[in-house]
Structure 1
Amino acid sequence: MTHALTDAALAELLARAAGDELLRVRRESGLEGKELGKAGDAGAQELLAALLDEHRPDDAVLSEEAKDSEARLSADRVWIIDPLDGTREYSEGRADWAVHIALWIEGELALGAVGIPGEDLVLVSSSVAAAPEATDDAPVRLAVSRSRPPAVTEPVRAALDAELLPMGSAGVKIAAVVRGQVDAYVHAGGQYQWDSAAPIAVARAAGLFTSRIDGSPLVYNGPDPYLPDLVVCRPGLAPRILAAIAENTHGES
């Protein structure tokens, strides 16, 4: 076993390697649509599994594209990965899809790397810059799904008088808050731990507010990988966003 790479360096290597493989598959496979998405997912998962086995063979892994194992529940170190977040966008030839690499250590997210290969960009929690400050006279911008914005978005939009910016994967949306392209991202109605672990680690390192939509903490490496909702935003917006969600009676389940 080699530990020549630090965990942060390995996370970045994994994100870049998977991104390169996904771009190669899209460029060279000749596939389209769902078949392209399946091939990209499979190729990226195979590569990540091999690299983790080489560099961290004793660590557990929770991946969207691999069978889950109860062994991770008693492990001190667990990599939580999504080889391709935003399969639809990837299959359509767009750039707003991502690779998620997170490391959970003894109860907490220790680091995350979010690769956006279409922009040749990897954001790593150990080195990410603080999120830009808001401009007082600028409208609040809210990232939303291109295809199916959750119902919880509307009360938040109304409370903030926000402009909606549709975009692809969850990782890209959270990265957009980190990069100052939007001010908040709110989701309810269905995600899993691998959909948010890496981008949440990066967002926290950038000084952003993160929580469930009821204000409770986001908890990772739980027995059930389902983690359906989240809020990521500039800290000053959090009270208004959480209040708007609470006033919306049921939100989404």
Structure 2
Amino acid sequence: MPATDLSLLVKAAELAGDIACRYTGPEAKRWDKPGGAGPVTEADLAVNAMLEDMLPKARPGYGWLSEETEDSEARLSCERVFIIDPIDGTRSFAEGSRTWAHSFAVAEQGEVTAAVIYLPQRELMYTAAKGRGAACNGTPIHVSTDTELASAEVLAAKPNLQAHHWLNGTPPEFIRSYRPSLAYRLAKVADGRFGAMLTLRPSWEWDIAAGDLLIREAGGAITDRTASLLRFNNPHPRLNGVVAGNSTLHQALMARLDPDSPGIAGH
């Protein structure tokens, strides 16, 4: 990983925040994507346009994968690729909430090596680089030290607790919480505020890539719902769910999940 990849992503996130915050979420023009793929606003598109101009110019050999850019097979032949979610939590943005994030990553041969999750309206800049740890606003962060799943706070939407996802049909006991942005959920596990998170639906790489490195560099464990390590820049850029936390809570959740249960549509 070029040493400057992280600083490049930080600069891009700061510029993205400046652009997005010019819009008032509820007043921003909004469209629904085809096929029930969710909403997009003019702020998402403005941020994406800036990033698609800035980042490839800075790294001409890198591939490009973004939620708001039509995908191209060209990225598959690139050793390194940008994985970009211009605004993660678009529904929250459109509703006027502050809980949305910019989520940017660089992956090299399938492994994320630099990552930023930035919440400009909460003044939270999460950063990570391979082998250099994870931080929030420059202060090192670490996953929770909780060891008891029953008393741990776990970020998960209600559909994840449906009985058919769990062995013996009984979800484990834990304190359930929720945040609308997948990137933010991963960041809050990385900084130890929550013990773990899970989403059992197929998940786009751009929602997960930056958080994957944050979790790992903060001392945590992160896999898909079958306990397979996450790899990025796949031909179809979707992952088979995500389970993340400190190693103890991750193992406890994985021991209870039914790996053969079908995915879900909700978060």
Q: TM class by shorter-chain length?
A: 0.7 to 0.9
1:186-225 equivalence runs, <5 A: 186-225=198-237
1:1-253 equivalence runs, <5 A: 6-26=4-24, 30-31=27-28, 34=31, 37-126=40-129, 127-128=134-135, 129-135=140-146, 139-145=151-157, 149-151=159-161, 155=166, 160-246=172-258, 250-252=261-263
For 1:27-55, what per-residue CA distance to the aligned partner results, in whole angstroms no more than 9, with x for missing partners?
7x943665894111101101111211331
- Tell me, yes or no, if the aligned pair for 2:66 and 2:85 is still in contact at 8 Å: yes
Could you tell me how far apart the structure 2 residues matched to 1:136 and 1:249 are? 26
Q: Say which is worse superposed, 134-143 or 69-78, in terms of deviation.
A: 134-143
Could you tell me how far apart the structure 2 residues matched to 1:143 and 1:166 are? 5
For 1:107-147, what per-residue CA distance to the aligned partner results, in whole angstroms no more than 9, with x for missing partners?
321111111122111111134224144256892001123xx
Could you tell me how far apart the structure 1 residues matched to 2:192 and 2:154 are? 11
Shift of 1:94: 0.9
Contiguous gaps of at least 5 residues in structure 1: none
- Tell me, yes or no, if the aligned pair for 2:30 and 2:42 is still in contact at 8 Å: no
Shift of 1:164: 0.8
Percent of matched pairs sharing the same residue: 27
Shift of 1:106: 2.6
- Tell me, yes or no, if the aligned pair for 1:143 and 1:182 is still in contact at 8 Å: yes
- Tell me, yes or no, if the aligned pair for 2:143 and 2:245 is still in contact at 8 Å: no
Normalising by structure 1, we get a TM-score of 0.87
- Tell me, yes or no, if the aligned pair for 1:142 and 1:163 is still in contact at 8 Å: yes
Aligned length: 245
Shift of 1:243: 1.1
- Tell me, yes or no, if the aligned pair for 2:166 and 2:257 is still in contact at 8 Å: yes
Contiguous gaps of at least 5 residues in structure 2: 33-38
RMSD: 2.6
- Tell me, yes or no, if the aligned pair for 2:28 and 2:43 is still in contact at 8 Å: no
Shift of 1:252: 2.4
Could you tell me how far apart the structure 2 residues matched to 1:136 and 1:216 are? 22
